[in-house]
Amino acid sequence: MNVGQVFREERGRLLATLVKRFGDLDLAEEVTSDAIEAALKHWPVDGVPDRPGAWLLTTARRKAVDRLRRDQVHAARLALLQVEVDRADPPAGDGLPDERLELFFTCAHPALAEEDRGALTLRCLAGFTTPEVARAYLVPVTTMQQRIVRAKKKIKEARIPFRVPDPHELPERLPGVLQAVYSIFTEGYAAQRDDLADEAIRLARILQDLLPDREVTGLLALMLLIHARRDARAELLEDQDRALWDRDMIDEGSALAERALTGGYGPYGVQAAINALHDEAPDFDSTDWPQIVALYDVLGKLAPSPVVALNRAAAIAMRDGAETGLALLDALAGEPRLRDYHPYRAARADLLHRLGRDAEAAEAYREAIALAGTESEQDFLRRRLTAVEEQS
Amino acid sequence: MKYMLLIYAAADQQPTCTVADWIAYEKEMRDAGVLVSGHSLADLVTATTVQVGQDGKRTVTDGPFAETREVLGGYDVIDVPDLDAALEWAAKCPGSRDGGAVVVRPIAEFDF
């Protein structure tokens, strides 16, 4: 790990601790950056302190006191005294207290716009800068700046708390946190940005340490089992060279999926199990389609959505034939959420092609290409289209 | 921190909650010591809108300023520690059911 990565690790933890103490995200972010800047200046010269976490916290607090002395209005509201009293008592042990779980719940609070939750999580917990977050979500830096400022203003002025919800609130609140982390992963996957997928997996590991919950485990398993296929993903699942799949990641993901489905189940665990079945099949033809269809049936009851119905139809096409699958897909044609969803058109195109209806398949691929969001998705679909055109 | 709970009823749906539900809700807020003030508003047909133009001329019209599908039926101002607590009270409000909605707005604080 280089120095930058070490600080990325420490940053979220330090930030969480400071937000907890100050109750002010802006001030906490400023002094976190100040402290890390100071460390980058001093540590290479003076050596890394015995307790780096405590050093960072003490430095950040001192910076906070300096800032509050300069800004009396701010200080009056933030109880300067509390910050100063705290200075006398550095944390026990080597590290900082881990208050990142609170920060996860604040960043993914349901009162924030859904599109901003992943962005805020990347910024506060993964230590991304605003331009890095903007690149992750493929939006201009100024747009992301405005979104983050707006979200932080809401946290501050509507007083969104920094707390872990009570156990009875968790079923309502945890899915938002998991969705924020998963959105980072899916953004990364669509854009073939492995750094984002790695970051999402790292965040899920932190969550899993802090909050033992089957769905946290299920989400981690799901991402590992998808990410295991990263080096082969330029092809459709059926054409992928399975020797390129990451065996260690599959083993870890499968074991976690099993844990997530022991004594109960949730949507992430079920999706993980579906991907485990794909990953464990030695080749495409020996995939356990009946079991996958059964899992999609469960998923459709737990978390009904047109996208789940689409994937279920594709699995049924494998189990019962393309004709049956196509009839199910066509029955979904009226779903507003699928109208502009390119995987829907692509799935239709694949089945039409399997049925030898290549002119219709080509048309469906063209529709899919027009709707695809990223260049890599478009390239992929263009190759499918070319293959169909050459064969017909 | 003070929040205003703006209680909107769906214009096209008859609420199933009773007067007793509202009385119980208000009592719960009073007993918890969070209620600052609150009122129900009289029927929408009694509303009158006043606007003063740039020329200082007063225009008085019948009805609320903007016709919406949802009708503001009342409000409560509560004093609670944070947004989670305010959302908890909003969810308990009988007006949040049956197609109604409660909009939670923090009361602005000014430093003078």
* Average of per-residue pLDDT across A190-205: 90
Return the pLDDT at A47.
87
- Shortest distance, CA B52 to any CA of chain A (angstroms): 31
Residues A244-285 have pLDDT tens digits of 999 999 999 999 999 999 999 999 999 999 999 999 999 999
- From A277, A352, A354, A270, select the one nearest A308 (Cα to Cα): A270
Residues B3-53 have pLDDT tens digits of 999 999 887 777 788 899 999 999 999 999 999 999 999 988 888 889 899
Residue A48 — φ and ψ, nearest 5°? -75, 130
Domain limits of chain B?
2-43+69-106
Question: Which residue numbers of B have CB closer than 8 Å to A's CBs?
Answer: 1, 81-84, 87, 104, 106, 111
* Average of per-residue pLDDT across A223-234: 94
Cβ contact, residue pair A161, B87, below 8 Å: no
Q: A-chain residues within 8 Å CB-CB of B84?
A: 160-161, 163, 165
Cβ contact, residue pair B83, A161, below 8 Å: yes
Please answer whether residues A187 and A117 qualify as being in contact, where contact means their C-beta atoms are separated by less than 8 angstroms: no
Domain limits of chain A?
3-96, 217-304
A161 interface with B at CB cutoff 8 Å: yes
Q: A-chain residues within 8 Å CB-CB of B1?
A: 159
* Average of per-residue pLDDT across A208-219: 95
The token pair at A274 is 């579906």
* Average of per-residue pLDDT across B65-88: 89
Q: Which of B2, B4, B82, B84 to mutate to test the interface with A (most CBs of A within 10 A)?
A: B84
Displacement of CA A218 from its chain's centroid (Å): 13
More confident residue, A46 or A219: A219
The token pair at B13 is 């749906």
Residue whose structure tokens are 């290409």 = A369
Please answer whether residues B15 and B9 qualify as being in contact, where contact means their C-beta atoms are separated by less than 8 angstroms: yes
Q: A-chain residues within 8 Å CB-CB of B111?
A: 73
A111 interface with B at CB cutoff 8 Å: yes
Please answer whether residues A155 and A106 qualify as being in contact, where contact means their C-beta atoms are separated by less than 8 angstroms: yes
Please answer whether residues A184 and A122 qualify as being in contact, where contact means their C-beta atoms are separated by less than 8 angstroms: yes
Number of H helices, E strands in chain B: 2, 6
Q: Which of B83, B102, B111 to mutate to test the interface with A (most CBs of A within 10 A)?
A: B83
**CATH pick for B2-43+69-106 out of 3.30.70.100, 1.10.357.10, 3.40.50.300, 3.30.70.1060:** 3.30.70.1060
Q: Cα(first)–Cα(last) distance of chain A, in Å?
A: 52
A160 interface with B at CB cutoff 8 Å: yes
Residue whose structure tokens are 């921190």 = B1
C-alpha dist (Å) from residue A379 to A206, A324, A366: 35, 29, 12
A70 interface with B at CB cutoff 8 Å: no
In whole angstroms, give the CA distance from residue A219 to residue A215: 6
Q: B-chain residues within 8 Å CB-CB of A165?
A: 84
A166 interface with B at CB cutoff 8 Å: no
ipTM summary value: 0.86
Q: Cα(first)–Cα(last) distance of chain B, in Å?
A: 17
